[in-house]
Amino acid sequence: MQQAKLLVSAVLGVEPGALLVHTWAEVTDEQIAIIGDLLERRISGEPLQYILGEWSFMGLPFYVDERALIPRQDTELLCETAIQWMKERGYRTALDLCTGSGCIAVSLAKLSNSAVTASDVSADALALAQDNAELNEVSVTFFESDFFQSISGKFDLIVCNPPYLSRDDMGHLQKEVTFEPEIALFGGEDGLDAYRKIAKSYRPFLNDGGVLLLEIGSTQAESAAKLFAGKTSVRTDLSGNPRVLIVEA
């Protein structure tokens, strides 16, 4: 019901709260037809966020579509942790690997006043991320890169929300999640492939005294931490699940 309201208000161009005072006389046949189409898409399982085409993350607006993962509220913890480290340690540079929609990179640029570089293996995702940087009026340097392959330079902070679902997880996806790019979700047989790649190659890209922050699945804290030689700790999300792995250089 709440989602239907959001769709209807998006088509009518009014705030959801204003729907009660909107009389049907003001709604055109064309708008009714569009609302019908959007509701059918939602009923078929397409995520509300893709249908609306825009979603909020860290209080900022982002374009969202099939080119990248929908920004999750869970991921705000990763982003908040990054902003906290940037501020407390006086970090000036950040790299966001696997940026997808660019939600983390753009939020960091907007909210932490640092120079942000972002990369993704998908050129399509990067185009979306670039649009999101423009939407939020920030400047982010984008690279097309498979993890660190085409990255140069060193950073104070590296942040990444990699694909981390296991093959078993992929077999039990919510209908909505099946609309999102598999490349952004599937982390190999046990879900840990991305962490293995990052553990092998991150160190030369991180300044001494810097930090690597990784989003992890709720069951991966121990197995992911074991892959890293540096000092590790874990932050839990609002539901009490391990969500962010912190690796200190």
**CB-nearer residue toward ligand GLN: 86 or 216:** 216
Question: What are the strands, taking DSSP E only, across the chain?
Answer: 54-57, 60-63, 93-97, 115-120, 140-144, 155-160, 206-215, 231-236, 242-248
Shortest Å, Cβ 165 to ligand GLN? 5
Burial class, 188, CB count within 10 angstroms (exposed 0-12 / middle 13-18 / buried 19+): middle
Shortest Å, Cβ 169 to ligand GLN? 7
d(CA 118, CA 65): 19
Judged by CB under 6 A, the stretch of 89-97, 128-136, 158-166, 195-203 that binds ligand GLN is 158-166
**Closest among 64, 52, 49 to 135, alpha carbons compared:** 64
Q: By rule CB under 6 A, what string of x and - marks binding of each residue 69-108 to ligand GLN? A: ---x-x----------------------------------
Q: Which one of residues 71, 163, 210, 242 is an interface residue with ligand GLN (CB under 6 A)?
A: 163
Q: Cα 25 vs. chain centroid, distance in angstroms?
A: 40
**CB-nearer residue toward ligand GLN: 12 or 158:** 158
- Does the footprint of ligand GLN cover residue 165 (CB under 6 A)? yes
d(CA 135, CA 92): 23
- Does the footprint of ligand GLN cover residue 122 (CB under 6 A)? no
- Does the footprint of ligand GLN cover residue 133 (CB under 6 A)? no
Shortest Å, Cβ 221 to ligand GLN? 14
d(CA 221, CA 164): 12
**CB-nearer residue toward ligand GLN: 9 or 107:** 107
Q: Which one of residues 112, 114, 161, 220 is an interface residue with ligand GLN (CB under 6 A)?
A: 161
- Does the footprint of ligand GLN cover residue 57 (CB under 6 A)? no
Q: Which one of residues 164, 179, 195, 228 is an interface residue with ligand GLN (CB under 6 A)?
A: 164
Q: Which residues contact 91 (CB under 8 A, 6 or more apart)?
A: 85, 114, 156, 157, 210
- Does the footprint of ligand GLN cover residue 213 (CB under 6 A)? no
CB atoms within 10 A of CB 145: 18
Amino acid type, 32: I
**CB-nearer residue toward ligand GLN: 157 or 216:** 216
Residues forming contacts to ligand GLN in the complex (CB under 6 A) are 72, 74, 161-165, 177, 185, 215
